[in-house]
Structure 1
Amino acid sequence: MTALVRPAIRRCNREDAAALALAGKATFLESYAGVVDGAAIRRHCEERQTAAYYEACLADPAHALWIAEVPPGAAPVGYLHLSPPDLPVQTGPGDIEIKRIYLLSKFHGSGAGRALFEAALEEARARGKTRLLLGVYKQNAKALGFYERMGFTRVGEREFDVGGAVYEDWVLARVVG
């Protein structure tokens, strides 16, 4: 049996927009194909998982992104996007949101998800933030288990539009500490 490769995690720069878009499309499709409407997934990826979207995020100092890569050629297999909060719960200046955190399932259990999370936690501390927030699909048991292990608790709900189809998410929070 081959040992599980642990992806390398690094902070993104402006040249990473295309790799982020690729990782975003691949991980979103893998996570939700067969769970949510296929046409909605395609539309969501075409509209929200674009190099232009990530170029704008990378140019904005309020955002921070990390990518998980494996050799050869540093193939993008996951990423994390930290941003100002945009969730339907009471927020304040001490809050920051993990907008997206995805990793191809082949690399679950490698420690890469935890490494991405730790990078976000360190950045939140460096920015003087006191609370991490995120939204997660209510039916995503694997992600909910990961977030519970990372110390998150439920603080609200939201509706999330995936390519014109609306799904129910939990809003979770955790003290940065």
Structure 2
Amino acid sequence: MNTSLIPCTLNDLDCLRELCIQTFTQTFGATASQADLNEYLTSAYSTEVLASELADPNSFTYFALAGSTVAGYLKLNVGSAQTEEIGPDALEVQRIYVLKDFKKYGIGRLFMEKALATAKEHGTTTIWLGVWEHNTDALGFYRHFGFTQFGSHDFPIATEPQTDLLMSRPVHLPAVTPAF
């Protein structure tokens, strides 16, 4: 399957919002009550929140295209856009989501290569992310790319407590190509 990445802009706001809701629901829908999930989706992925994120010069959002179909998205942050104070020389992979039907086509690898390239472009030395402690597929994926855990933080979905593991890796490590 031919896959590519394109920048997401304010013109793509409706598509991005729909994709955010769909991918988050596919990933976490079974772990929270419907009320909590709806509350989270409404607040985290409102058009106002997403428009603000897209307008932030320290955030970068990309769509993955599988052929001509939007199959996932990536959101990166540097500087003040990072969700944790890791440092000025760090890049955060805040969101990396692929629609269920497009997993195992190398889109995650493309996203990680883009994240590493963006980190180098911005002169950062560390790339980091948070991942749900029970998302074993994602944990394995990140470990293949050389990420190791350095901490954790709470990630509540409305009233449902969740724990994200914080993982990082030096930017200068060679990219590892996972065997999936």
Aligned positions of 1:8-47 closer than 5 A? 8-47=4-43
Residue equivalent to 2:102? 107
Q: State yes or no: 1:58 paired with 2:33.
A: no
Q: Distance in 1 between matches of 2:127 and 2:89?
A: 9
Kept after mapping to 2: 8 A contact 1:7/1:107? no
Give me the TM-score of the superposition, normalised by structure 2: 0.87
Q: Distance in 1 between matches of 2:91 and 2:48?
A: 23
Q: Distance in 1 between matches of 2:32 and 2:149?
A: 22
Q: Distance in 2 between matches of 1:77 and 1:41?
A: 22
Which residue of the other structure, out of 65, 68, 82, is the alignment partner of 1:69? 65
- Structure 1's unaligned 5+ residue stretches are none
Q: Shift of residue 36 of structure 1? A: 2.8
1:22-47 deviations in Å (ceiling 9; x for gaps)? 11100000011212333222111111
Q: State yes or no: 1:95 paired with 2:95.
A: no
Q: Distance in 1 between matches of 2:27 and 2:6?
A: 22
Q: Distance in 1 between matches of 2:66 and 2:11?
A: 17
Structure 1 range deviating more: 35-44 or 161-170:
35-44
Q: Shift of residue 133 of structure 1? A: 1.1
Residue equivalent to 1:82? 76
Q: Does 1 or 2 have the higher relative contact order (CA < 8 Å, sep 6+)?
A: 1
Q: Shift of residue 6 of structure 1? A: 4.6
Q: Percent identity?
A: 29
Residue equivalent to 2:177? none
Q: Distance in 1 between matches of 2:18 and 2:40?
A: 13
- In structure 1, give the amino acid aligned to 2:150: V
- In structure 2, give the amino acid aligned to 1:38: Q
1:62-83 deviations in Å (ceiling 9; x for gaps)? 1011111345xx4432101111
Q: Distance in 2 between matches of 1:20 and 1:111?
A: 20
- In structure 2, give the amino acid aligned to 1:174: R
Residue equivalent to 2:178? none
- Aligned-residue Cα RMSD (Å) equals 1.6
- In structure 2, give the amino acid aligned to 1:77: A
Q: How many residues end up aligned between the 2 structures?
A: 169
- Structure 2's unaligned 5+ residue stretches are 173-180
Find the residue that maps to 1:113 and give its secondary structure. Answer: helix
Residue equivalent to 1:116? 111
Q: Distance in 2 between matches of 1:114 and 1:143?
A: 12
Q: Distance in 1 between matches of 2:112 and 2:43?
A: 26
